[in-house]
Chains A and B, each alone.
Chain A
C-alpha cells in the first residue's frame, strides 16, 4: 500500500509538487497573518520554508538539488527549474509599461557593470584575505561571488582546481540564498519600492534566483523590473570575469 502510494507520487511528480507548494503557501500565509500580523510577507515565509526544506533535503540525501532529491518531491525540481521559472518571469512583464523601463534604462546598465565589478572585487578581497595568492584561484572565487554560474564557468576557462571551483559555487549560492532573505528585510531601508530602484537592484545583485525570490517576497509587482536587468548579469559576468577582470587580478598579484 505504502509502496504503491510512493510510486504513484513519484510517477506524477509535477502534480505532487503543485500540491506540496500549494500547501506550503497556505501554511506560510496563515503564519504571516496570525503570527506576524502581516508584517512578514506570506511569500517571504514560504520562500524561507522552501530554503529550510532544501537544507533538510540536501543534508539527508547528500544530493545537490535540495528537497527535490527526495524521491517523493522530485517534481519540485521541474516546477522550480530554469524552464518554468523563466516562463513565469517573462509572464510578469505582462502589463508593465515600457516607459518605466526606458526611464531607468541607463541607470540599470550602470548598475549591471557596477554590480559585476563590486561583487567580483568583494570576492577577490575575501579570497586574498583568506590567503589565496594564485591569480586563477582569486579570480575563480571572485567570479563565484558574482553568481554561482559565473564562478564555475570562469574556473573551467582558467583551469582552476575542482576544490576552488566548488568554493566559488558555494560563494554564489550563499549570495543567492542571502539575497532571498535579506531583500525583504532591507527593502524599506534601501528604498526598494519603485520600478527604478528595482531595476537598479536587479543590476547590482544580479543572481537571477536571488533577485526573483527576493523581489517576490518584497512586492511581486517589482519582479519584472528587477528581473529585466538581472537577466543580463550572468552573461556579463561570464564575459568580464575570465577576461578583463582576470587580467586585472594577474596584474596585481
Chain B
C-alpha cells in the first residue's frame, strides 16, 4: 500500500530527527545536529534491506517516490516564502558578507574535489527533458 511507503519515510524522518536532537543536547547546543542527514541514511539502509528481500512492492515504493518528485515544487514554494525583502534591506555589510561567503565556498568546491577519480565521474546525462540542452552545449564546445 502507498501509505506504507509514506509511513516508512515519516518513520525514518522522526527517528533521524530524534537522534539529531539527542546529539545536539549531548553537545549542549540548541539545534538538531544532522537529523535530516541521519534520516536519509536510515532510509537508504532500510529500503536497501527490504528491497534485497523483495519486500518493497511497487505501491510502497510509489509512496516514497511521490515525495521525491514533489521536491522541486516544494523548493519553489520555499523560495516564494523566503524573506527576500529583508535580505536586500539589511545594508551593505549583510550583502557583502553574504556574497563573499558564497563566492569563497563555491571557489573551494573544485579545490576539495581534487582530481577526478573514479568516484567523481559525472552522472549519466538525464534521460528526460534535459537531454537536448546538454547535447547542444557539447556540440557548442566542440565547435569552439
Interface, chain A (partner B; CB < 8 A)? 17-18, 21-22, 24-25, 28-29, 37-39, 41-43, 46-55, 57-59, 64-68, 73, 76-77, 79-81, 84-94, 96, 98, 100-101, 103-104, 107, 110-111, 114-115, 118-119, 122-123, 125-127, 129-130, 132, 141-142, 144-146, 149, 153, 166-180, 182-183, 186, 190-197, 200-201, 204-206, 208-210, 212-213, 216, 219-224, 227-229, 231-232, 234-236, 238-239
Contacts and interface: CB of A to CB of B under 8 A. Distances in A.
A92 B66 CA distance: 10
A176 B113 CA distance: 22
Interface in B2-44: 9-10, 12-13, 16, 20, 23-24, 27, 29-37, 39-41, 43-44
B77 A190 contact: no
Contacts of A201: 105-106, 109
Judged by DSSP, the binding face of A is helix
B67 A204 contact: no
Nearest to A191: B110
Contact of A94 (B16, B24, B47, B112): B47
Contacts of A236: 33
A142 to B, nearest CB: 8
Contact of A222 (B68, B74, B110, B123): B123
Given A87-B67, A93-B40, A43 B86 contact: no
Contact of B48 (A37, A59, A98, A176): A98
A203 B117 CA distance: 19
B143 interface: no
